[in-house]
């Protein structure tokens, strides 16, 4: 039988690579922001026995995202999307965090919808930090519609110039995008969910740990399982979300954080 195709954005990054290396039964399209990065990643996947092909695409460019989806469609039946492309607050630029994490997510979801078929599974990357932002009518409307002119300005009223706060807001936005898309994907028989990793020791996680060791130590002390996550801890769950084993699951988020957020929320209540 022909292998289904899974598109991985951020396919050269920590969680993208960890996930891609688990998808032995699929053909994967590896996408990232630069050609060199994509080519190296594809070589490495192939060394691990993964059927991989690359396509460079900047997730903030509508045109490049459309080209990526057209390329993916040509590879065969669209099994799903693993959308990991994103940046952390360490880029220190609220506009960049918004554009890559949230506008980029809206662009790829809209484009992927065009080629979604029965049993396509879309997995977006939120974060445990998205769970720390409460519901609010004003900013939620802007988070749900990041492609609208004016949304960024509304969110900036709340996050000011704080890139960490913008990161947390964009990750709440990812969960709202899932919520807003489940019915239209459902009509095609396809599914859309998100995963919210905790502190995972990829390059992104290590950089954050280096820059804020005190925060990481405090988080560790509140984590039920007493350790940070490994990329494989996330990749195994994404593999399940992509597979038919999760066939009745859509419109939801899976928090994979070793028990940190429940502990933070309980602490805040006391």
Ligand X SMILES: NC(=O)c1ccc[n+]([C@@H]2O[C@H](COP(=O)([O-])OP(=O)(O)OC[C@H]3O[C@@H](n4cnc5c(N)ncnc54)[C@H](O)[C@@H]3O)[C@@H](O)[C@H]2O)c1
Q: Which is nearer to ligand X, 33 or 139 (CB)?
A: 33
Half-sphere exposure of 44 (CA within 13 A, CB side): 16
Q: Which is nearer to ligand X, 27 or 171 (CB)?
A: 171
Q: How far apart are CA 123 and CA 28, in angstroms?
A: 14
89, burial (CB in 10 Å: exposed 0-12, middle 13-18, buried 19+): buried
Site residues, ligand X (CB under 6 A): 10, 12-16, 32-33, 58-60, 84-87, 100, 125, 127, 197, 199-200, 202-205
Q: Which is nearer to ligand X, 2 or 194 (CB)?
A: 194
Q: DSSP code of 87? A: -
Q: Which is nearer to ligand X, 119 or 162 (CB)?
A: 162
Q: Which is nearer to ligand X, 60 or 77 (CB)?
A: 60
Q: Which is nearer to ligand X, 32 or 253 (CB)?
A: 32
71, burial (CB in 10 Å: exposed 0-12, middle 13-18, buried 19+): middle
H or E element at residue 156: helix 151-159
Residues 6 or more apart whose CB falls under 8 angstroms from that of 104 comprise 59, 60, 65, 85, 86
Residues 6 or more apart whose CB falls under 8 angstroms from that of 212 comprise none
Q: Which is nearer to ligand X, 3 or 53 (CB)?
A: 53
* Token pair recorded at residue 102: 């949230």
Minimum distance from residue 90 beta carbon to ligand X (Å): 9
Q: Which is nearer to ligand X, 95 or 117 (CB)?
A: 95
For 46-52, which contacts have Cβ atoms below 8 Å and span 24 or more sequence positions?
A: 48/21, 49/24, 50/20, 50/21, 50/23, 50/24, 51/3, 51/26, 51/27, 52/20, 52/27, 52/28
Minimum distance from residue 204 beta carbon to ligand X (Å): 3
Minimum distance from residue 1 beta carbon to ligand X (Å): 30
Minimum distance from residue 224 beta carbon to ligand X (Å): 17
Minimum distance from residue 208 beta carbon to ligand X (Å): 7
Minimum distance from residue 202 beta carbon to ligand X (Å): 3
Chain residue at closest Cβ approach to ligand X? 13
Minimum distance from residue 75 beta carbon to ligand X (Å): 19
Please state the φ and ψ torsions of residue 28, each to the nearest 5 degrees. Answer: -110, 140
Minimum distance from residue 48 beta carbon to ligand X (Å): 17
Q: How far apart are CA 8 and CA 69, in angstroms?
A: 11
Q: How many residues does the chain have?
A: 270
């Amino acid at each position: 039988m022909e292998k289904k195709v899974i598109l991985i954005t951020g396919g050269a990054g920590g969680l993208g690579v960890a996930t891609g290396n688990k998808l032995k039964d699929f053909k994967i399209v590896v996408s990232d922001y630069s050609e060199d990065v994509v080519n190296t990643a594809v070589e490495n996947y192939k060394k691990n026995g993964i059927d991989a092909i690359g396509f460079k695409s900047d997730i903030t460019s509508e045109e490049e995202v459309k080209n990526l989806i057209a390329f993916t469609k040509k590879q065969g039946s669209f099994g799903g999307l693993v959308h990991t492309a994103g940046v952390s607050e360490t880029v220190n630029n609220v506009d960049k965090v918004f554009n890559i994490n949230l506008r980029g997510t809206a662009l790829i979801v809209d484009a992927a919808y065009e080629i979604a078929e029965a049993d396509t599974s879309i997995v977006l990357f939120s974060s445990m930090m998205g769970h720390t932002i409460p519901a609010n009518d004003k900013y939620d409307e802007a988070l749900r519609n990041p492609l609208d002119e004016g949304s960024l300005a509304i969110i900036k009223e709340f996050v000011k110039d704080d890139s960490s706060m913008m990161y947390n807001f964009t990750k709440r936005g990812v969960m709202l995008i899932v919520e807003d898309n489940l019915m239209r994907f459902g009509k095609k028989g396809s599914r859309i969910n998100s995963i919210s990793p905790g502190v995972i020791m990829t390059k992104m996680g290590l950089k954050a740990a280096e820059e804020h060791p005190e925060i990481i130590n405090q988080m560790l002390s509140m984590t039920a399982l007493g350790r940070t996550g490994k990329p494989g801890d996330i990749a195994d769950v994404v593999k399940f979300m992509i597979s038919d084993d999760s066939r009745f699951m859509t419109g939801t988020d899976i928090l994979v954080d070793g028990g940190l957020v429940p502990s933070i929320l309980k602490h805040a209540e006391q």
